[in-house]
Structure 1
Amino acid sequence: MNVQQLVPLALPRGRPLSCELCGGPAQLRCGACHVTYYCDVDHQKADWVSIHEKICQLLIPIRTSFPFFNSEKERKHGVEQLLHRQKHLVDFTHKVAQKFVFEGKHEEAIPAALHSLRFSIDTCGPDSVELVPAYLILAEASTGLGHLTQAEEYLSQAQWIVLKTSDCSNGIQSKLHRNLGLLYAAKGNFEESLYHLATDIYFASCAFGTHDISTSGGYFHMANVFFRQNKMDIADSLYTEVTDIWHAHFSRLIQVQSQTLTSPAEINILSEEEEISEEPLNEAQQAEASQVLNAILDIREQAPKQQPAKTANVVHALAMLHYLILDLPKAHELGMKAFLITKQLPNQDASEAINHLLKLIKSKLFYTK
């Protein structure tokens, strides 16, 4: 999109339209899609940076009036298409918002999360449990910005929906308690924070297992609370658990990837649907892993008492992460760093795995040249 298209257009007077971000009276319109409105240029720019650039053209068929249908069959098809587009945007805007949160870009996360919330309301209604993920991202972003009152309001909305939903999933309840834990930690109420984070871990373990990456976030945030309380032994054990979970997850992904590359004859001919598989790590998971592991590495490297084996484990995990996302130069740099640390240890059990990773990195670097 060029600069001219980014210039908002003045609206005709008297149109009852509201700003995409704040809901206030709209004065301006996006010059590209012509279906999105803002109260001022600042809100337009904030929305553009967060999400609007990515979904500008996708909004046109959703916000344009239905054409005249010749039959009931055509009308039903049109309604189904609209619902499909809205559900796609719910999922997409949620992932974008979640990625921003993991990257610490809380300001940018809010417009994307607001879109996710509105599309969820349009598709599921104002009291559906499907709205909870959007409320939780809005709460986490608000907590990150220090807007604790706003975060409490979003969490109250989420908590009320969860309480009214008798069959609410363990995964949703885990995320709710994690956000409550983060809010109380931001307030300095560590006892209440630890209670909610422990509850988060319980529900996440029920949903995904105790050693799943979806559960690791609870361990990480709990470790941060103990770290702030200067309870270093407990924090250390939890940081180790988080590292081990991500390390094992990356190792499995690389093993599967290696088997696929080295044993193509063993792979069955798949149907067209089965051939389409998700990324080993989606963007939100990549951002979470990077945030968590780099934070732990920073703590390990600045600790008064160094623990080289644990530091090497974090560095190795980060090297695997960068290998999986094809940032090969960084993967090689971190792999060499992990290798050099392990060479100084009396027990060099990890050296073989690190050597294997370095060979994989070098082979990919060779083929990409």
Structure 2
Amino acid sequence: MPVSGVPGADEVPAPHEPARAEGDTATAPSPGGSAAEGTGEAPRARRWCRGTRLLVGATAVWTLLLGLHVLLAGNWWLWLLVEAVPPLTLVAVPLLLLAVTPLARPVRRWLAPVLVLLLLAGAHLSGFGPGWSGGGGTGTTAGGTEVKVFAWSTDYWQMDDDKQDFYAFLRGQDADVYLLQEYLYWEGDDPVRIDDTARLREEFPGYHVSVEGELLTLSRLPVVAEHHRRVPDTGTAWYHEGSKAQRTDIQVGDRTVSFYNVHMPVPFQVGDNPLSGRFYRFLRDQYAWRDRELDALRSDLAENPHPALLTGDFNSPWTGSLLDPAPGTRVHSPGSGVLPARSWPVSDYPLPKLWRLDWLFTTEDLAVPGYRFGGGGDFSDHAAQEIRLVVPDPTASGHPKETR
């Protein structure tokens, strides 16, 4: 209690408070303030937990991989191993990372938009969204001629199939044009050329039969021209040096349309040891082979005055997005189902059907009002392509009437 009437008695320090030195301006910590604030020290930054660090690291790695995939797919032989990954992986990974993002509170506000962008990019490359025509494509169907096309990778010609059932399946398609791949046998690592022409003429009377290497085209429409590559008549040159994009010019109404029957080389052989030198030599050689064949296809298309349809087994799930077989063509996709179209494997392999290896492209004003993957699983590891093509009449399309 202060003593009344004594000058300065109110200013005597309490016994429990130390006297302040003159000029000392330190203040007591504010209520609720930290010890660091009270002592004038800078607060320490909170460290991310291990889960947050892992999530940020995984997002960075995935961003790098996606960027490399866009740059290297189709441009580096070793990247063929990455090209074998199912395209839906580009959707599944960012979705998984997005699912756990809410748990990473320090970074979720900026990490979530990044993952959404990665998801949208991956979805487009995988076959979702705009840019993929669903079951139709562009062009008009008015005043045109309709052509039924059946394209199929036959999994080697009847090596393990019942011949009667095999031909019955083909006849049942009742197509105007058949574009069939793998018209050959195999003995070990060696392709064996076959000649089933007599049976084909018996089964398909009135059809024109055209064979180039392992590619077979049947047409009941008039064939205007066949464009076969000249190869040595020795050994397996018919297979290894022959064209992998057989072109047949066919008269449709008053116009000539080029039908390209495509089978690009496989990137690698399932079952080969990836630790062996043979595996990587094969990978490099197959990449170079595919590159040559794609260049030849692009060159032929650039000089072709006719509208064209390209279809077959391109042996890459990225053909419609990252691997452009021919600039200026339109890619078509079946429009049924929630997921993007898939055509392989439908048999023979203990794998889910996650890849699309079979593709369809058109040029100019050709329309595709009907397109789906049909049967074929009883005979091949590939689903068959059932295509309804409409070729507009010259007067409707603005093209002059062709003479022959």
TM-score, normalisation: structure 2? 0.23
Determine which structure has the larger strand proportion and give its number: 2
Higher-Rg structure is 2
Higher relative contact order (CA 8 A, sep 6+): 2
TM-score, normalisation: structure 1? 0.24
